[in-house]
């Protein structure tokens, strides 16, 4: 389908969960209102935010079609609440500290309308800390094989509401991160693929307090949860799984050896050697 020929008959629901995002929520909402796909509704879910954020949300009411509020339950519950209330055929999930280029939704819906096997649309993105410090990330997309050991799409993506209903929504038990990855596993495990628009249409704010950074701290705990939840899927992929984790252990070993060989590590080791001897002696 040629870009520009898409009709606007189907409603798009843009879902924006918000938790203490007073400094960025206006940019996210503006990103939603600026989408060139005109038949849309904007739903913001206040997930138990502080007073400062609530004040900003009040000032944005004229740009929001539906503002929902709940006690803090995490991003999965907030997204589910917004999608449950959504009237759109298509769902665009957008985190409150990120933003899309204006033509993302139009291009993404064009992909879904022209390909029934496509379950999810993402794009190239810019991970940024400031205007001077950013990295371009190009998700792999593809089928379930590309999503089994890491997510191959951003957390902010576009999909059909009926697919969200079919797989019974986001897992609300996952509150510390990677819930989008687990959602994509369920979305694709019975077939279909994720399409990546080869353009930089998404901007992800990467900070030390971002959910992605927090999730990486506890990634092994989250991996265990996902692998056990989808045990049947990983048993079928047993040989590749063993290879993946063998390679991971080898990488960690190599990294540890590089660290031990660094001059500052060796200096610290010898400076602390007497203290270790004293501590050992006191334990005798």
pLDDT at 73 over 90: yes
pLDDT per residue as tens digits for the range 171-194: 999 998 999 999 999 999 999 999
Q: Which two tokens stand for residue 184?
A: 């994509």
d(CA 37, CA 104): 9
- Residue 18 half-sphere exposure, CB side, CA atoms within 13 Å? 34
What was the pLDDT predicted at 176?
87
Range of the domain at 92: 12-236
Residues 78 and 171 in one domain: yes
Within a domain: 4: no
> Is 271 found in the same domain as 191?
no
In a domain, 274, yes or no: yes
pLDDT for the residue numbered 62: 96
- 70 & 211 share domain: yes
Computed from CA positions of residues 217, 221, 224, 230, in that sequence, does the dihedral angle turn out positive or negative? Answer: negative
Please write the tens of the pLDDT for every residue from 199-258: 999 999 986 655 566 666 788 899 999 999 999 999 999 998 898 888 878 887 878 777
> What average pLDDT does range 57-86 have in this prediction?
97
116 and 161, same domain (yes or no): yes
pLDDT of residue 173: 95
By the 8 A CB rule, do 229 and 182 touch? yes
According to the model, what pLDDT value does residue 3 have?
46
The DSSP call for residue 142 is B
> In the predicted model, what is the mean pLDDT of residues 99-128?
97
pTM to 2 decimals? 0.85
* Same domain, yes or no: 211 and 244: no
Burial category of 82 from C-beta neighbours within 10 Å (exposed 0-12, middle 13-18, buried 19 and up): buried
């Amino acid at each position: 389908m040629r870009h520009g020929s898409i009709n606007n008959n189907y409603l798009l629901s843009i879902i924006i969960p918000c938790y203490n995002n007073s400094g960025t929520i206006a940019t996210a909402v503006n990103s939603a209102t600026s989408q060139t796909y005109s038949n849309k509704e904007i739903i913001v879910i206040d997930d138990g935010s502080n007073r400062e954020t609530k004040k900003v949300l009040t000032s944005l009411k004229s740009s929001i079609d539906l503002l929902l509020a709940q006690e803090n339950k995490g991003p999965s519950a907030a997204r589910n609440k917004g999608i449950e209330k959504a009237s759109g055929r298509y769902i665009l999930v957008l985190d409150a500290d990120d933003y899309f280029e204006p033509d993302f939704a139009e291009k993404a819906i064009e992909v879904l309308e022209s390909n029934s096997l496509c379950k999810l649309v993402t794009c190239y993105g810019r991970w940024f800390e400031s205007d001077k410090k950013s990295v371009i990330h190009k998700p792999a997309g593809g089928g379930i094989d590309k999503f089994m050991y890491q997510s191959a799409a951003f957390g902010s993506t576009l999909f059909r509401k009926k697919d969200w209903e079919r797989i019974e929504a986001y897992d609300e038990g996952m509150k510390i991160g990677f819930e989008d990855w687990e959602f994509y596993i369920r979305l694709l495990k019975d077939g279909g693929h994720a399409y990546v628009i080869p353009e930089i249409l998404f901007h992800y704010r990467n900070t030390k307090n971002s959910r992605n950074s927090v999730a990486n701290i506890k990634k092994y705990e989250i991996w265990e949860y996902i692998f056990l939840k989808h045990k049947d899927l990983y048993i079928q992929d047993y040989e590749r799984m063993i290879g993946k984790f063998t390679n991971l252990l080898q990488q960690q070993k190599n990294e540890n050896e590089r660290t031990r060989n660094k001059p500052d590590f060796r200096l610290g080791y010898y400076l602390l050697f007497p203290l270790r001897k004293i501590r050992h002696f006191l334990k005798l």
